[in-house]
Amino acid sequence: MSPPEPPQRLSYRDAGVDIDAGDALVERIKPFAKRTMRPEVLAGIGGFGGLVEIGKRFREPVLVAGTDGVGTKLKLAFALAQHDTVGIDLVAMSVNDVVVQGAEPLFFLDYFACGRLDVDVAADVIRGIAAGCEQAGCALIGGETAEMPGMYVDGEYDLAGFAVGVVEKSAIVDGRSIAAGDVVLGLASSGPHSNGFSLIRRIVEASGADLAAPFENTTLGAALMAPTRIYVKPMLALLHELPVKGIAHITGGGLLENVPRVLPAGLQARLARAAWTRPAIFDWLQRHGNVADDEMHRVFNCGIGMVVVVGAGYAERAIARLAAAGERALPIGGIVAQPPGEPPTVVV
């Protein structure tokens, strides 16, 4: 009997993982990450872990951490072959969650997973992540690129992000001091941000809409893909100058489910729908999806990406300070005693 044939010599590349491509990506993204560095960073991209010191300016520093993804907005990115803005979305979803508690984002890490690594696509995504970090003033200190053959459809990927910030313990914003008579300010959104895209995609599909069709002064696809607004720097400027009682990032759950997260029991935020002009993209979604008003306010931000609660005597100054920082804000409602049987937030 003849001896068995020796097994075929296999490599990681034969199994679908290209180590050289991963190395090339790391080299490609180092300049992007370098632009985001802060003085607290001791070691960033390239090591096993990023090293960051908190610094001496805090007496009782409290770390605030947040994590999120981009969700099915990525499906539109794949369809449009637009990969340079979803990284901004990724950063925004975490740093906006961190700043609402009064924290300054210090650093960010990303997780990029795909079936086969396309270095050009991945570099576009991570360049967007770095751009988001620059907008937020935080450092991109590391991440993970996972090439996993068989786990993802060819040409698709998934993203996750992780942000850590720091706040003085005495300066934490938690909503406890909110009281009846306070004013609710709304900060304008740039569009749907990164929420509700399962419904958005269903509406686009059911209506037969063309993503390349003209919409306002752009296209429908571009209007839907507008990157999530990053509110960090204007909010930090406001927090340094005025007493802010509560802040809510309007993400999944819309106005109806996010504002209550900062309200003490027994209070209600009454928001006036006529107080702000809803961007046309939300009108398009409601009309083509025949979506009820309550559903719109529970799924989408409807033009308000961040809510800020301040004492009535500070409202005008807060609006002026935010405007000076490049943020459009306006009064959209007030805080009242919660009527029996009513929810903690209503849009009337």
- Where do the DSSP E strands lie in 138-236? 139-147, 157-168, 183-188, 214-215, 218-219
Amino acid sitting at position 276:
W
Kindly report, as residue ranges, where domains of CATH 3.90.650.10 are found in the chain.
183-347
Q: How many residues does the chain have?
A: 348
pLDDT band at residue 11 using 50, 70 and 90 as cut-offs:
low
pLDDT in tens, 284-325: 999 999 999 999 999 999 999 999 999 999 999 999 999 999
User: Which fold is adopted by the domain 183-347?
Assistant: Phosphoribosyl-aminoimidazole Synthetase; Chain A, domain 2 (3.90.650)
- What's residue 173's pLDDT? 97
- Out of 3.30.1330.10, 3.40.190.10, 3.90.1300.10, 3.65.10.10, which CATH number does the structure's domain 19-171 have? 3.30.1330.10
Kindly report, as residue ranges, where domains of CATH 3.30.1330.10 are found in the chain.
19-171
pLDDT in tens, 27-54: 777 777 788 888 888 876 667 888 889 8
pLDDT band at residue 9 using 50, 70 and 90 as cut-offs:
confident
pLDDT in tens, 105-141: 999 999 999 999 999 999 999 999 999 999 999 999 9
Q: For the chain, what is the mean pLDDT?
A: 93
pLDDT surpasses 90 at 342: yes
Q: Residues with Cβ < 8 Å from 77, sequence gap 6 or more? A: 83, 85, 86, 225
- What's residue 35's pLDDT? 83
The mean pLDDT of 2-10, rounded to a whole number, is 71
pLDDT in tens, 249-297: 999 999 999 999 999 999 999 999 999 999 999 999 999 999 999 999 9
Helix (H) or strand (E) holding 268: strand 267-271
- What's residue 274's pLDDT? 95
In angstroms, the CA 299 to CA 281 distance is 14
In angstroms, the CA 309 to CA 247 distance is 6
CA distances from 29 to 32, 93, 110, 144, 163 (A): 5, 21, 12, 12, 19
